[in-house]
Structure 1
Amino acid sequence: MVSSGKFLGFVIRHRGIEIDPSKIKAILEIPPPQNLKELRSLQGHLAYIRRFIANFAGRIQPFTRKTRKDIPFFWDENCQQALDGIKSYLINLPVLAAPIPGKELILYTTALDESLGALLAQENENGKENALYYLSHVLVGAEHAYSPIEKHCLALVFAVKKLQHYMIAHWFTLISKVHPFKYLMTRPMLTGRLPRWAIILTEFDIVYAP
């Protein structure tokens, strides 16, 4: 019986998935970028493992701002702090558990001023909650003007679309400060993006827990 194996830079074990230590070591040894090309290379390395990093979009925001064409490249203190923080996080990176078929999933969502986040989790046979997948999204354009409840709705829609292959096979409990689905379903009239979101969410079995 094979207890573990490597595949595309990840180590697959019975208990779940983790990143190949050599990949982590390579990122830890990356020096501060000196130009935009090196920054994009760093972003590429990090994007490959983003499912393991909580609030990934928020953590790399200082990098994202440096990729704008109208801003000359300059590696500042905010960027260095972000890089140091990510490297510290990588030292104790979580193992992402494999989902247990037929067992309820737990979805945590959050909406911040600049980004959205989600964590898909599941209790194991011993009642311990394990992380399965981290998601995050940087708000762009008109999304910044969304109301707080609309940002929470967007966080839920973003999460279920990205995690659809998990959601279709399980029912799940949503853990959130607000009840996005109830907000959409109790609106007297849905216009614009709201009816599209409502249609997407009706495909899933959602139980809300504050």
Structure 2
Amino acid sequence: MVELDPKVVVHHLSVKKGACLVKQGQHRFRPELILLIEGELNKLIEVGFVREVKYPMWISSIVPVREKNEQIRVCVDFKNLNNACPKADFPLPFVELMIDATMGHEALSFMDASSGYNQIRMAPVDEELMAFRTLKGIYCYKVMPFSLKNAGATYQRTMQRIFDDMLHKNIECYVDDLVVKSNKREDHFHDLRKVLERLRRYQQKMNSSKCAFGVTSGKCLGFIVCQWGIEIEQAKIDAILRMLESRNIHELKSLQGKLAYLQWFISNLVGRCQLFSRLMKKDVPFQWDEAC
């Protein structure tokens, strides 16, 4: 099992005193889906991410999610457990500040962790709190799962601890996304080597299929950054152009979420969308017209 050095970080749960214990029921799945779920569960067992448990106090249910490649990813509905834990106050970086700090460099390397969250061990005392039902039995996570509350904060805190002396100089990180940056191309090999040596020291593994080394531009947090500035990712523009006129508040909120991505590129975007705010009011009939 690939994992970060437990001396550096383990993830702890802080369940509120007096929280009501919840044991979620078993979900029913179609026969063809059951085989796919069992296959994914077997993979988790094989790599050592989960183990069997017999008498858990909390039990959550699995939620199969179909990904773009039609594969099934097994997630766990930790809603009840998450509600019983206070939110961590550790701050995540401002996306716009990280983007600003990344552009304007002659050479860049983009790296993404390999199952990054799962590289962090859970505190052994908290493992069984994350028990979940399957048709094979009840299992719990030994590593930090993606859907757990405060997982992002723990990961960000870990990265800032590992790269404390490099951050904002020749590296930027947002949770499991790393960008190595060099003002001069001739310095990039040296900067990149320092980062890779640090990753090796702390036993952190990156996903080679999602890495790009020594490039002049690349995708970072949904934007295209390069030496000359930032660009809009074409896929996000196409998603807006494909949208039909909004028929209700739910669809309007979806449009607003996509338009928020463009606020850096369109002056006074908030002012231009004032009419949308009026349509969001409960006492105003929802009517999409030419003014929209």
- The TM tier, using the shorter chain, reads 0.3 to 0.5
**TM-score, L = length of structure 2:** 0.26
**TM-score, L = length of structure 1:** 0.36
The structure whose residues are more often helix, as a share, is: 1
In our comparison, the structure showing a higher alpha carbon Rg is: 2
